[in-house]
Copies of this chain bind each other. A is one copy, B any other.
Amino acid sequence: MAAFERLLEPRGIAVVGASIEPSRPGNQTLVALKENGYAGGVYPVNPKYPEIAGYRCLGSLAQVEGDCDIAVVALPAPQVAGVLRECAARGIGHAVVLGGGFREAGPGGAALEGELLATARATGVRFIGPNCLGLVNVQARAYAAWGSLTRPPRLAPGPVSVVLQSASFGMSLVIQAAQAGIGFRHVVTSGNEADVSTAEIIDAYVDDPGTRVILSYLEGVADGRRFMAAARRALAAGKPLVLIKAGNTEQGRRAAQSHTANMTDEYDVYRAAFRQCGVIEVDDVQAAVDMVACLLGGRLPAGNRVGVIGGSGGAAAMFSDQADLCGLVLPAFAPATAEALKDSLPALSVLRNPVDYTAGFPRQQDGLDFERAFRAVIDDPQVDQLAVMFAAAGRRQVAYGGELLARLVASSSKPLVVFSGMDEALAPEGLATLRAAGVPVLSSPKRVALAMARLAAHAGARRAAAASGGGVGAAADEPVDVGAVLHDAGIDGRAGALDEAASKRLASAFGIPVTADRLLPLAPSLADCDGLPFPVVLKIVSPDIAHKSDIGGVQLGIVGPQALLDAARRMVAEVRAARLDAALSGLLAAPMVDGALETLVGVVNDPGFGPVVAFGLGGVLAEVLHDVSYRVAPFDAAQARSMIDELRARALFDGVRGRPAVDVEALAAALARVSVLAWSLRDRLVEMDINPLLVRPVGQGVVAADALAVMR
């Protein structure tokens, strides 16, 4: 039996703290179970009353007779741990802790939450919450819930399962999806997630045969890797995970922290993790509803090319604008398609993509002409998805168009999404036909384009995961003997910052190309300069100096041995004067690298996600614009390429203003190797900067000109 099957499909539900007061959770749960007709056992626990909502009251959990899998706990925070012990005694495996007053309420509450978790671990009882609205199994009408989870609208059964960190906002999402005709299987509000996490719920949904699409509202996860594992399982199982993440900005983070007290790491890292796991991140309620509607069609596109047909040139323009912004392409049609359109559409139609058959169409009286035109576009080999712009087409047109599209969708496997400004009241027949055929209808062209772009991205992530084993590739399995590597690099036991030479040895040990430097004594002789590839750069070497150039510790363009000796004298004197405390281990003479693009690579050890690699361009402007991409380590070269492509300044790598294109392949390989380094050394490495990583013209590779690693 899968881990949480009894939690999601409970045979009986007890309510501890059952109440006769309608505003109390302990009443609302019982009323909801009764009104919705839950078929399992219901056990109110409250010695004061004989019965509540028609269910016989018990004096304690010990008196529960029959199967019972959930105890809903509607008691003040200090009493909850005791209930968990009673659950264990009675053999009730799960609790749902509704009330607040725990971690989110300050230090006293945090102590209670700690006690609660300790009790759970000791007894083996798993619990949802605290500080939540509970959970519902919509099919089974099992309500271990209160508040908006038990209020209208009554959710229709369907294949969407939901996990929400904010119940009230999350339910506004569920309600709007329900009003759009979407049916649900499970809704879990996870609250503070002291015990059961969003990741575990997602895992349970992956195991649940009735769940086809997963919807989540997230503020933060304690264990990023655990979340990624669940998301990757969902991706592999073909159950798309649609997610809204909040608490991403300075003001948003503050708001989220006073709310569920969930730790919110850097949003950049979440965004990277979502991309790596094929999570479909959306930024608003409507976008989430649109996305779920599109995914329930069960079709994924083979690429990002969209055929567009409709009766509104304005809608086509709106769609095309958005397509441009979100990476969809409107390809030119194959010649046969153009022919078919010419033969079947009215005069004055625009026959190119986007096709505009002008207002007033499609019409029944034109026979099969329109169906032929639509079919030609969806069947065009250049087209991966079909967008239909009904715009303000009237009731009869939508009715006829709906029938046409229902036939079309039955004979094509490509996704098809409709824009109509008409709602159910204005075009009931057509929208009902489209709904029955599983064709999503969205109310703006921009929303259609956004949903299609997300479908295409998700499909791409699925293909990539299938090809590389979760987007990690061989990287994760590469056996690295960390001890040997550190020993060979001469840094086995060292903690704190490493100097440039040691940092580069570490990089080099993982296959990251570094400049061919020579370590010189602090007072070099002419003989030390023999064979140096002048002109060279001279740099001070010290684990104590992070920003060498600020204090005269770097000199470029040294032309010969005598100049080097002079520079060395000056440099050591200046650095000593500036940093009396710094231990100087020598000087580094490095070859000059010209004509390369300056990039920088960073490794950070994120508290939630572990080692993460950041990549961006060098220079103050790139820094100010925060044009940086992130990936959770380890990852393969394909992920690294997508990391490079994500930069807004990506065009620089192809060469602009007459500069040569640079070696993106070598760069991707180096980034993947940095990710292996970060992952392999995760227990030792605090952070690492390779700055600059110089990217040379195509075919000439990359080279790290400086590096700084901090160990623990």
Contacts and interface: CB of A to CB of B under 8 A. Distances in A.
A556 interface: no
Interface in A360-394: 360, 363, 365, 389, 391-394
A411 interface: no
Interface string A417-448: 00111110110000000000000000111110
B624 A252 contact: no
Interface stretch (A281-289, A537-545, A690-698): A281-289
Contacts of A323: 251-252
A656 interface: yes
B348 A100 contact: yes
A153 B422 CA distance: 9
B320 A251 contact: yes
A38 to B, nearest CB: 20
A161 interface: no
A169 B391 contact: yes
B391 A621 contact: no
B444 A284 contact: yes
Contacts of A625: 625, 627, 648-649
B320 A252 contact: yes
Given A217-B314, A285-B443, A623-B656, A148 B392 contact: yes
A175 B446 contact: no
A622 B624 contact: no
Contacts of A166: 312-315, 317
Nearest to A350: B258
Interface in A92-120: 100-101, 104-105
Nearest to A173: B421
Contact of A168 (B133, B260, B391, B624): B391
A651 B255 CA distance: 26
Interface in A207-225: 217, 219
Contacts of A330: 251, 255
Interface string A306-337: 00000111111111111111000110000000
A560 interface: no
A652 B422 contact: no
A298 interface: no
Given A314-B246, A392-B148, A359 B168 contact: yes
A320 B257 CA distance: 12
A415 B76 CA distance: 39
Contact of A444 (B285, B425, B444): B285
A467 interface: no
A197 interface: no
A318 B316 CA distance: 31
The count of identical subunits is 2
Nearest to A423: B179
* Max count, chain B CB within 10 A of own CB: residue among A168, A258, A320, A420: A168
A365 B311 CA distance: 54
A320 to B, nearest CB: 4
B101 A168 contact: no
Nearest to A264: B317
Interface string A243-261: 0101111111011101110
Nearest to A657: B620
Contacts of A348: 100-101, 104-105
Interface string A498-527: 000000000000000000000000000000
A358 interface: yes
A314 to B, nearest CB: 2
A147 B312 CA distance: 12
Contacts of A420: 172
A623 B179 CA distance: 47
A167 interface: yes
A165 interface: yes
A34 interface: no
B315 A172 contact: yes
Nearest to A153: B426
A104 B358 CA distance: 12
Given A219-B314, A359-B148, A624-B656, A319 B176 contact: no
A315 B620 contact: no
A475 interface: no
A264 to B, nearest CB: 9
A48 interface: no
A247 B321 contact: yes
B421 A315 contact: no
A259 B620 contact: no
A104 B347 CA distance: 12
A179 to B, nearest CB: 6
Contacts of A176: 421, 423, 443
B352 A391 contact: no
Contacts of A244: 318
Interface string A435-474: 0000000011111000000000000000000000000000
A354 interface: yes
A395 interface: yes
Interface in A264-314: 283-286, 311-314
A410 B652 CA distance: 57
Given A359-B167, A359-B168, A621-B622, A314 B259 contact: yes
B318 A169 contact: yes
A392 B621 contact: no
A348 to B, nearest CB: 5
Contact of A447 (B252, B259, B284, B657): B284
A169 B285 contact: no
Contacts of A217: 314
Which 3 residue pairs across A and B have the least CB separation, nearest first? A166-B314, A172-B421, A259-B313
Given A172-B312, A172-B419, A283-B446, 4 more contacts: A147-B394, A173-B421, A259-B350, A625-B625
10 contacts: A100-B358, A167-B359, A170-B392, A179-B425, A249-B321, A251-B329, A284-B444, A285-B444, A620-B656, A625-B649
